[in-house]
Structure 1
Amino acid sequence: MASSTVNRWIRPEVYPLFAAVGVAVGICAFQLVRNICTNPEVRLTKENRAQGVLDNFSEGQKYAEHGLRKFVRNRAPEIMPSINDYFTNPKS
């Protein structure tokens, strides 16, 4: 039984599925670690939880304005700008 399961799932046709699921799990793990380690609203220690509600706007702003958001802020929301330009502005 175990060999038939292995033969069914460990095939070259299934590698893209494994890759896609692996990328999705990696993104989820990254976001989980990022939220646990750097989110100002998440407090793991008992001393930090005892402080109650904090007005730490600068820390929240620092968390929200991460590097990727700063990188894409002034860019056009396009995946392939050259192809979009080719089809929207055809040379007559």
Structure 2
Amino acid sequence: MASSAWSRWLRPEVFPIFAVVGTAVGICSMQLVRNISTNPEVRVNKQNRAAGVLENFAEGERYAEHSLRKLVRNKSPEVMPSVNKFFSNPK
């Protein structure tokens, strides 16, 4: 029984599915850790929860304007700009 399951799922055709699911789980885990550790609205320990609502705009700005957002701020929101230009600008 176990050997048939291994032979069914450990074939080369299934590796792309493992890669896609693994990437999705990694992205979700990264976002979860980022929210728990750096989000100013999430308070894990009791001392911070007792503080109530804080108006710490600088911390919120640091969280919202992270490095990836700064990197792609002035970029075009296209996946493949050259292909889009080829099909959208006929000669």
Same fold (TM over 0.5): yes
Residue 44 of structure 1 and its aligned partner are, at CA, apart by 1.3
Runs of 5+ in structure 2 lacking a partner?
A: none
Distance 1:62 1:84 in 2: 34
Give the Cα separation in 2 of the matches to 1:2 and 1:75.
50
Residue of structure 2 in register with 1:6 after alignment: 6
- Distance in 1, Cα, partners of 2:38 & 2:85: 39
Deviations 1:23-54 (A, max 9, x none): 00000110011011111111111111110111
Q: CA deviation at 1:90?
A: 2.6
Alignment of 1:8-87 (within 5 A): 8-87=8-87
| Runs of 4+ that moved beyond 3 A | none
- Aligned pair count reads 91
Tell me the TM-score normalised to structure 2 length: 0.94
TM-score (norm 1): 0.93
Q: Structure 1: any 5+ residue segments left out of the alignment?
A: none
Name the % identity: 69
Question: What letter corresponds to residue 50 of structure 1 in structure 2?
Answer: A
When the two chains are superposed, the root-mean-square deviation of aligned CA atoms in Å is 0.9
